[in-house]
Amino acid sequence: MPTSCQQIIEAAYSRSTANDPGKLATDLELIGRLDRTYQRMYAELAVASGDNCLSTTTLTLGGSPATATLPTDVIDVTRVEIAGSKVYLIPAYEKDRAWHLAPAVYRQGTSIISRGKTGDPTAGTILTVFILDAPAALTSLASTLDVRWPHRFDSILIDDLALYLSDKDVDRNPADYANLRTDLSDSTTAFNALVSNSNSAKETPHDGRTSAAQQTKPSQD
């Protein structure tokens, strides 16, 4: 079951070095702090961890040039299809380049736009768009973390909130406070290492050349 804001906050109270953390901030203040940290870390997770945070949405093109609006606060677009067939997602600055095959679209801010050449999508075309979408905002104690957020990283959100509460108490225990900062630093380091090395659906980088092991060496005769 996804972790709730209330569970995170209650755990942060227990971890905080403040004498009475429950009196140092309102629920809405803590939820706001939690959401800001969560949204930032989720974006890092989504970009770094391959397809772990991928979802799809359908968009219908309209107007001229044929355009569709992406969902709010999309982190990134990774693939576009029409009825299961690939649509080439090209850089906007290359939309006039003849070497890009049709069908092709490009992204402009919060929109997907057809390049407008022969074979490209037209108004009325339904696109399937693979996106890294932002999780729903945390707005109440009942709000829960996205099911794609790994529970192993809950401790980062808890310790960050615990430190936030501890920072507001001048009478906190210095040694316990230092230990809490170390725990958060260690957890954040582990987070960065794990998400950056995820292998889920990542293509091996290549530059179009054969590897050194496969290249024919010149004769020494």
| Stretch 47-69: mean pLDDT | 92
109 secondary structure, DSSP code: T
Is the pTM value of this prediction over 0.85?
no
- pLDDT above 80: residue 1: no
- Model confidence over 92-130: pLDDT tens digits? 999 888 888 999 999 999 999 999 999 999 999 999 999
The arrangement of strands across the sheet holding 111-114 comes to: 54-60, 126-133, 74-82, 85-90, 104-108, 111-114, 67-69
- Cα of first residue to Cα of last residue in the chain, in angstroms, is 69
* Predicted pLDDT at 205: 46
- Model confidence over 167-212: pLDDT tens digits? 888 888 888 889 999 999 998 988 888 887 766 545 544 444 444 4
By percentage, how much of the chain surpasses pLDDT 70?
89
Torsion of CA 114, 119, 121, 122, to 10 degrees: 100
**Which residue ranges make up each domain of the chain?**
5-51+148-196, 54-133
- pLDDT above 60: residue 43: yes
Helix (H) or strand (E) holding 57: strand 54-60
